[in-house]
């Protein structure tokens, strides 16, 4: 955690959740590209 400048597990969990959300949005965008008219 210290290497990334994060001091608490809560910060790590929050960053991890944010990164997970971003990956999900990107996956949805990639899957939906062919669905556009």
pLDDT tens sequence across 1-37:
455 666 788 887 888 888 899 999 999 888 876 665 5
- pTM score of the predicted model: 0.51
**C-alpha angle 37/23/4, rounded to 5°?**
150
Three-state DSSP state, 8: coil
Output the pLDDT for position 35: 62
CB 1 within 8 A of CB 12: yes
Output the pLDDT for position 24: 92
């Amino acid at each position: 955690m210290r290497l990334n400048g994060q001091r608490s597990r809560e910060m790590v969990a929050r960053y991890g959740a944010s990164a997970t959300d971003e990956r999900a949005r990107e996956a949805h965008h990639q899957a939906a590209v062919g669905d556009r008219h």
